[in-house]
């Protein structure tokens, strides 16, 4: 089960991700979208948001050490990470896979959404989400649609794989949404987006560290992820073995 157009692409030779000095950040982000490779339905969904988005936000580039295949699997199947958080008791967030590339999400605080992976390769993943919020912060239901563009690049440092990635977000609010209240809270919300992206990146790096040092422990944890479909868990277990074997090979080479 691979995302639409999951073919590998070579990483850019630059250490920065897709620099384009003459374009604004928003224009850079839009230029990343391979429209010709998207289904008609996906094109319509993305165009609907990008043509009338209320907010564009670019999170800072985050860097982490992680095996490339492990990273890709966690990005494409984020319920693995979310279920780990649940077992650790650190998050109310829940994800359930409804279709091959569609997740139902409940953040535990009033936001319910559906997120679809509409495109993915080794350096770029594009998600489309639509959902609503009604809770203690905004008591009337607010609906919106979001396009998430995650660009990543793999490099090697001291013989080990390093991932640099950046998240862009386009948000379109429904006409019924209280725009004044949303605008008032926008700064806080976007700050939380950056914090969550940074913390998630850090956690993925910690997963990779456990894979290097205690692969059996990671596999035991994976077996406890009851909210994750069995084929996805089994694939992750296989990737744990492969990544650990590669780290052992690197360590053995360094010792010579």
Q: What is the pLDDT of residue 12?
A: 40
Whether residue 68 contacts residue 247, with contact meaning beta carbons closer than 8 Å, is answered with no
Q: What is the pLDDT of residues 153-206, one digit of tens each?
A: 999 998 899 999 999 999 998 876 666 666 777 888 899 999 999 999 999 999
> CB neighbours (10 Å) of residue 229?
15
- Superfamily of chain region 25-255: START domain (3.30.530.20)
Number of residues written out for the chain: 256
Q: What is the pLDDT of residue 240?
A: 99
- 136 Cβ neighbours under 8 A, 6+ residues apart: 109, 110
What does the DSSP 8-state code read for residue 24? -
Give 142's strand partners: 133
Q: What is the pLDDT of residue 7?
A: 61
Q: What is the pLDDT of residue 137?
A: 76
Q: What is the pLDDT of residue 14?
A: 40
Compute the Cα dihedral for 28, 51, 34, 65 and give only its sign: positive
Q: What is the pLDDT of residue 18?
A: 55
Residues of the chain with confidence (pLDDT) below 70 = 1, 6-21, 176-182, 255-256
Q: What is the pLDDT of residue 83?
A: 99
pTM of the model: 0.90
Compute the Cα dihedral for 21, 23, 28, 33 and give only its sign: negative
């Amino acid at each position: 089960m691979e995302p639409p157009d999951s073919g590998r692409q070579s990483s850019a030779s630059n250490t920065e991700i897709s620099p384009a000095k003459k374009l604004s950040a928003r224009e850079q982000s839009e230029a990343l979208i391979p429209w010709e490779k998207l289904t008609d339905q996906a094109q319509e969904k993305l165009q609907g948001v990008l043509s009338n988005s209320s907010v564009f936000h670019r999170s800072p580039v985050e860097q982490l050490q992680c095996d490339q295949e492990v990273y890709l699997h966690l990005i494409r199947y984020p319920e693995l990470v979310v279920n780990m958080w649940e077992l650790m008791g650190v998050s109310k967030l829940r994800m359930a896979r409804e279709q091959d590339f569609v997740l139902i999400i409940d953040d535990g605080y009033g936001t319910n959404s559906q997120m679809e992976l509409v495109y993915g390769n080794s350096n770029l993943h594009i998600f489309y989400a639509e959902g609503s919020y009604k809770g203690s912060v905004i008591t009337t239901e607010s609906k919106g649609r979001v396009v998430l563009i995650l660009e990543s690049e793999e490099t090697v440092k001291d013989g080990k794989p390093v991932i640099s990635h950046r998240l862009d977000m386009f948000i379109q609010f429904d006409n019924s949404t209280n725009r004044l209240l949303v605008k008032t809270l926008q700064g806080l919300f976007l700050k939380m987006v950056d914090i969550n992206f940074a913390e998630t990146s850090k956690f993925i790096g910690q997963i990779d560290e456990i894979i290097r040092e205690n692969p059996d422990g990671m596999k035991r944890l994976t077996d406890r992820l009851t909210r994750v479909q069995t084929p996805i868990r089994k694939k992750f277990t296989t990737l744990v073995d492969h990544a650990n074997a590669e780290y052992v090979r690197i360590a053995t080479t360094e010792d010579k």
